[in-house]
């Protein structure tokens, strides 16, 4: 299973003993994708092509055009991650809901094994 530093509110999360807390499995992917979505494109020195343009929409009127553009930008940003095969979103009462279909390689690293997967 894959592990990485655990983030909370943009900073490393520490355990009560002061050790670095770790994220595991799907939580790693969730925080990686969230970081892509909220980071301005080009803001990371080592990965200048990563990030999104979603911050451009902060303060914009939430009309149909803005909703469509935000949805497309979020889906495009998720699809840039090599672990994501498909991405789609929808607007709900709670906001934008994003869903992603992952590669089998990503699933093998992120999920505990043995695991029975039904393919359909």
Domains, the chain, with CATH or none: 3-110 (3.10.450.40)
Q: How far apart are CA 87 and CA 80, in angstroms?
A: 10
pLDDT, averaged across the chain: 89
Residue showing tokens 């902060």: 58
pLDDT at 1: 65
Give the mean model confidence (pLDDT) for residues 89-106: 94
Does the pLDDT at position 14 exceed 70? yes
Candidates 34, 47, 46, 38; CA nearest to 6 is 34
Lowest model confidence (mean pLDDT) among 6-20, 47-61, 101-115 = 101-115
Calpha distance 102→45 (Å, rounded): 27
- Under a CB-based contact definition with an 8 Å cutoff, are residues 15 and 23 in contact? no
Confidence at residue 91, expressed as pLDDT on a 0 to 100 scale: 96
Mean pLDDT computed over 38-66: 93
Percent of the chain predicted with pLDDT > 70: 92
Residue whose tokens read 């990030």: 51
pLDDT for the residue numbered 81: 95
State the pLDDT at residue 107: 84
pLDDT at position 117 over 70: no
């Amino acid at each position: 299973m894959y592990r990485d530093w655990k983030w909370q509110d943009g900073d490393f999360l520490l355990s009560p003993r002061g050790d670095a807390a770790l994220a595991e499995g799907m939580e790693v992917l969730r925080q990686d994708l969230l970081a892509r979505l909220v980071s301005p494109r080009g803001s990371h020195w080592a990965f200048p092509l990563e990030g999104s343009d979603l911050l451009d929409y902060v303060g914009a009127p939430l009309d149909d055009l803005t909703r469509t553009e935000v949805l497309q930008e979020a889906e495009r940003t998720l699809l840039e991650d090599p672990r994501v095969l498909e991405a789609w979103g929808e607007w709900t009462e709670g906001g934008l809901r994003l869903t992603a279909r992952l590669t089998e390689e990503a699933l093998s690293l992120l999920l505990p094994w043995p695991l029975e997967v039904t393919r359909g």
